[in-house]
Amino acid sequence: MDQPNQGSAGCLLALAGAATATLAWAPLARVSVTGGFEQSHRDLSVLYVDLPLIALGGALLPLLVWTAALRVLGRPWQAFAAAAVSLALGVWGLTLWWEPYQQPEFLGGPLWAGAPG
């Protein structure tokens, strides 16, 4: 693979990584965007804080691994395999670790916090 093709392959890999990370993150953030029951749990900060960070991480992780593996290994297909594995592990770690904050459904009532029944 010559130099211009490697550059376009890297850009394509970054685009695929950003799309994959965003699509894996979206079902987890649905509760924060829609608000849940009567929209009482709406937190739109996931759209302007978390979404750009997830997309940036999804783009940069496979791109950096691909670049490093291409320099070390010198073979584009092995570098692509390393980048794909890093993206899969990154998305797995994201879905395992990231969980949006969810407030309790009900915060009061006569039987809450030791109130007399």
**Orientation of helix 76-97 relative to helix 3-34, angle to 10°:** 10
In the chain, the amino acid numbered 91 is V
Entry pTM: 0.75
76-99 pLDDT tens trace: 889 999 999 999 999 999 888 877
CA angle 103, 113, 99 (to 5 degrees): 20
Output 28 or 35, whichever has higher pLDDT: 28
pLDDT, position 64: 94
Predicted confidence band of residue 17 (pLDDT cuts 50, 70, 90): very high
DSSP the chain: --HHHHHHHHHHHHHHHHHHHHHHHHHHHHHHHH-SGGGTT--THIIIIIHHHHHHHHHHHHHHHHHHHHHHH--HHHHHHHHHHHHHHHHHHHHHH-------S---STTSTT---
pLDDT, position 88: 94
Structure tokens at 90: 């990154």
29-69 pLDDT tens trace: 887 777 766 666 677 888 898 899 999 999 999 999 999 99
